[in-house]
């Protein structure tokens, strides 16, 4: 069966510090991968998506970047966090002919 | 105008009640439609897809009206466990075959004993 993992589950970071969030998918090959952010009390915003290794599309200009070093690994990064980067970060995947399934998410608080 | 609009609620209903959520979307070329459920501090989970002919899954019925760009979700005989935020979701295809989901902000439902 297919599963999706994210870590860490929660993170508290000071402003200006770097960030690295990881997402891995099991049980499927060549998935499309997505990073979303959900700010408190707001809807999900698509940040990045990837259709293959090394292929990243950015949806909104921001302080974050994404990378896909392996087929089933998706990483969200920042060199210097801002207060506005706080939120609930969700990774999602689709295989062929499927809708999106989400990982458990990472709660990031930037202080 | 938001791409996907929902009444944020909250909807507070007694157990056993019937409750309906509505959603409108702006992109007439949108291809697929879904309702997701999100429990507090958890990830969204697919509740059901929405088809033009309407579809039912137990106590849940979803309807799509493409002409009006309107989606609905009906929950009958509400249970305490139905308490959650319900997200209206519209899907479009992006470049490179990536499926892009656009989420509404969600409608909060609380079922009261």
Q: Give pLDDT tens digits for B12-34.
A: 999 999 999 999 999 888 888 99
Contact with chain A for residue B85, Cβ under 8 A: no
Q: Name the band, by pLDDT with cuts 50, 70 and 90, for residue B73.
A: very high
Provide the shortest C-alpha distance from residue A72 to chain B (in Å).
15
Provide the shortest C-alpha distance from residue A44 to chain B (in Å).
6
Two tokens, residue A78: 């920042």
Pairing of strands A101-102, A19-26: unpaired
Q: How big is chain B, counted in residues?
A: 113
Contact with chain B for residue A46, Cβ under 8 A: yes
Tell me the CA distances in angstroms from B110 to A30, A60, B17, one per residue in order: 39, 33, 11
**pLDDT tens-place string over residues B30-42:** 888 999 999 998 9
Q: Name the band, by pLDDT with cuts 50, 70 and 90, for residue B2.
A: confident
> For position B97, what pLDDT does the model report?
62
Asked whether the beta carbons of residue A99 and residue B91 sit closer than 8 angstroms, the reply is yes
Asked whether the beta carbons of residue B91 and residue A42 sit closer than 8 angstroms, the reply is no
Burial (CB count within 10 angstroms: exposed 0-12, middle 13-18, buried 19+), residue A22: middle
> How many contacts, defined by CB atoms under 8 Å, are there between A and B?
57
Q: Cα separation of A47 and B4, whole Å?
A: 17
Contact with chain B for residue A80, Cβ under 8 A: no
**pLDDT tens-place string over residues A12-27:** 999 999 999 999 999 8
Q: Kindly report the backbone phi and psi dihedral angles of residue A55, in degrees, each rounded to the nearest multiple of 5, phi listed first.
A: -105, 115
Q: Which segments in chain A show pLDDT lower than 50?
A: none
pLDDT at B64 over 90: yes
Contact with chain B for residue A65, Cβ under 8 A: no
Two tokens, residue B48: 């059901």
Give the residue from chain B lying closest to A47, CA to CA: B100
Pairing of strands A106-110, A10-13: parallel
**pLDDT tens-place string over residues B92-112:** 766 656 678 889 999 999 999
Strand partners, A23: A6, A74
Contact with chain B for residue A104, Cβ under 8 A: yes
Asked whether the beta carbons of residue B105 and residue A42 sit closer than 8 angstroms, the reply is yes
Give the residue from chain B lying closest to A52, CA to CA: B96
Provide the shortest C-alpha distance from residue A87 to chain B (in Å).
11
A102 vs B contacts (CB less than 8 Å): 43-45
Residue A10, classed as helix, strand or coil, is: strand
């Amino acid at each position: 069966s297919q599963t999706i993992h994210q870590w860490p589950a929660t993170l508290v970071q000071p402003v200006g510090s770097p960030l690295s969030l990881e997402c891995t998918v099991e049980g499927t090959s060549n998935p499309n991968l997505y990073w979303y952010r959900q700010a408190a009390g707001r809807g999900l915003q698509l940040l990045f998506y990837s259709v293959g290794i090394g292929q990243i599309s950015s949806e909104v200009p921001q302080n974050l970047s994404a990378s896909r070093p392996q087929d089933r690994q998706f990483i969200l990064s920042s060199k210097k966090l801002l207060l506005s980067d706080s939120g609930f970060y969700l990774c999602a995947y689709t295989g062929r002919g499927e809708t999106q399934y989400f990982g458990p998410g990472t709660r990031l608080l930037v202080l | 105008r938001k791409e996907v609009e929902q009444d944020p609620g909250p909807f507070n209903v007694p157990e056993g009640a019937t409750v309906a959520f509505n959603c409108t979307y702006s992109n007439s070329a949108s291809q697929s439609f879904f309702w997701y459920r999100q429990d507090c501090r958890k990830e969204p989970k697919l509740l059901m897809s929405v088809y033009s002919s309407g579809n039912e899954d137990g106590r849940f019925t979803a309807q799509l009206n493409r002409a009006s760009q309107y989606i609905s979700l009906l929950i009958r005989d509400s249970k305490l466990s139905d308490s959650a935020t319900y997200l209206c979701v519209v899907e479009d295809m992006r470049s490179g075959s990536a499926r892009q989901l656009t989420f509404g902000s969600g409608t909060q439902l609380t079922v009261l004993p």
